[in-house]
Amino acid sequence: MKNILLISHSSAKAGGGEEDFFRLAKFLYSDNNLYMGIPEGPRETELLSFAKSSVRVSNNIFPFYNFSFKAYLAYFKYGMSDNLKLLRFIKGKKIDVCFINSSVSFILIFSLLFKRIPVVLSIKEIIQPSFIRGIVFKLISLFTCKVIVISKFVEQLYLKQGWKKNCLLIYPSIEKDILTCNYLKVGNSENINIVNIGVITKGKGQHVLIKALKNIRNLKFEVKFIGKITDLEYYNSLLKLKKDQDHSYEFLGELTKERVFQEMKSSDIVVVTSLSEGFSFAILEALVMKLPIITSNVGIAQEVIVNGHNGFIYEQNDYKNLEDLLLKFSLNKNIFKTLGLLEDFSIRFNLDENLKRIQNVLYSCIVK
């Protein structure tokens, strides 16, 4: 059995990256000895059931939305502390390979480098600004064995800005059976119901949707925002922004996956407003559930949506463009020629196959 160290940036119950990590740990558990470095969180106990032993690291995420010298200093400060924790944890253990679940935890590479443990890292986020992303990608490419990218968009950025071309494209996936359950459509409102999924933070762009609806006065929209409030200042700005509008806005917080899918099924349309995204599970989930969708041009949007055919794509942060598309949809809810993916789900998003591919990448990096 191989000894694999798995490191995650989060132990939250919801989130695409968190779901990826849980599925991988569950998949690797039966044939490998797993060691974990994970932060405190709602899913911590569940994750630790797969681990032979573990160490708690801080919830230290590289600031990837905006340039902030102060935030970078804090990241490196806590990162060095976590590196020391990891060094103490792996002392005396024979770790064959390490998997780091997100590029926002790249700083933990250094303790593993010191111990000559090969690292496989998954890039899920689009770090901004571009020149900072370039520095991070160069460090990652220099000190990792392999890099896993989760969309062609991320792959193109990495190949352009990293030093080594050591990346493989492996798409995240989902349990298709959960999405194709018979969720009932609840309610028969004459209003247009929108669901927007994502933690409440500026990078998810909820303000773009509120701005887009501001000038639409002859129609009534009901908007449900699903996601944990992680930026209170931004949340308060959204409350101010929606004032004096006739549209209804509801913040539902973090929900179970089943409840999220129920809300999606009960909506007229799913709207994704992210300003920066490596993949976006909400896009894939909406398509698998055969729901109408409007999304910003992030993540896998342009890989799985033909604009105007099975969804609409708008330029990120362009609320006027989004406003026009919402009006188009409201005038004809059957505007799309088809709903859902334009390919067999299993071609790129087969969960078991993609998990096997990640396992093979890990095994290929083990020094014999």
Q: What is the pLDDT along the chain (368 residues), one digit of tens a residue?
A: 999 999 999 887 767 888 899 999 999 999 999 999 999 988 999 999 999 999 999 988 888 888 899 999 999 999 999 999 999 999 999 999 999 999 999 999 999 999 999 999 999 999 999 999 999 999 999 999 999 999 999 999 999 998 888 899 999 987 776 655 554 554 456 899 999 999 999 999 999 999 999 999 889 999 999 999 989 999 999 999 999 899 999 999 988 888 999 999 999 999 999 998 999 999 999 999 999 999 999 999 999 999 999 999 999 999 999 999 999 999 999 999 899 888 888 889 999 999 999 999 999 999 87
State residue 301's pLDDT score: 95
351 to each of 162, 175, 176, 217, 231, how far by Cα in Å? 28, 7, 9, 44, 32
- For residues 119 and 144, the answer to whether their CB atoms sit within 8 Å is yes
CA dist 227 → 204, 216, 254, 265, 363 (Å): 10, 25, 5, 17, 36
How many angstroms separate the first and last alpha carbons of the chain? Answer: 14
Q: Which residues contact 341 (CB under 8 A, 6 or more apart)?
A: 287, 288, 304, 310
List the domain boundaries for the chain.
Answer: 2-173+350-364, 176-345
Cα distances (Å, whole numbers) of residue 146 to 20, 112, 164, 207, 305 = 17, 14, 10, 37, 29
Residue 174: predicted pLDDT:
79
Contact 273, 204 (CB under 8 A): yes
CATH number of this structure's domain 176-345, picked from the four choices 3.40.50.2000, 3.40.630.30, 1.10.730.10, 2.102.10.10? 3.40.50.2000
**Which two structure tokens, joined as six digits, stand for 14?**
């919801």
Asked if the domains 2-173+350-364 and 176-345 are classified in one and the same CATH topology, the answer is: yes
Helices assigned H by DSSP within the chain:
16-28, 44-48, 69-90, 109-114, 130-143, 152-161, 176-179, 206-214, 232-241, 257-265, 281-288, 301-304, 319-331, 345-349, 351-364
Helix axes 351-364, 16-28, angle to 10 degrees: 70
Long-range contact set of residues 38-43: C-beta below 8 Å, sequence gap at least 24: 38/6, 38/7, 38/8, 38/11, 39/8, 39/9, 39/10, 39/11, 40/11, 41/10, 41/11, 41/12, 41/13, 42/11, 42/12, 42/13, 43/11, 43/12, 43/13, 43/18
CATH classification code of 2-173+350-364: 3.40.50.2000
Question: Computed over its alpha carbons, how large is the radius of gyration of the chain?
Answer: 21
Q: Looking at residue 256, what is its pLDDT?
A: 84
> Is 0.85 topped by the overall pTM?
yes
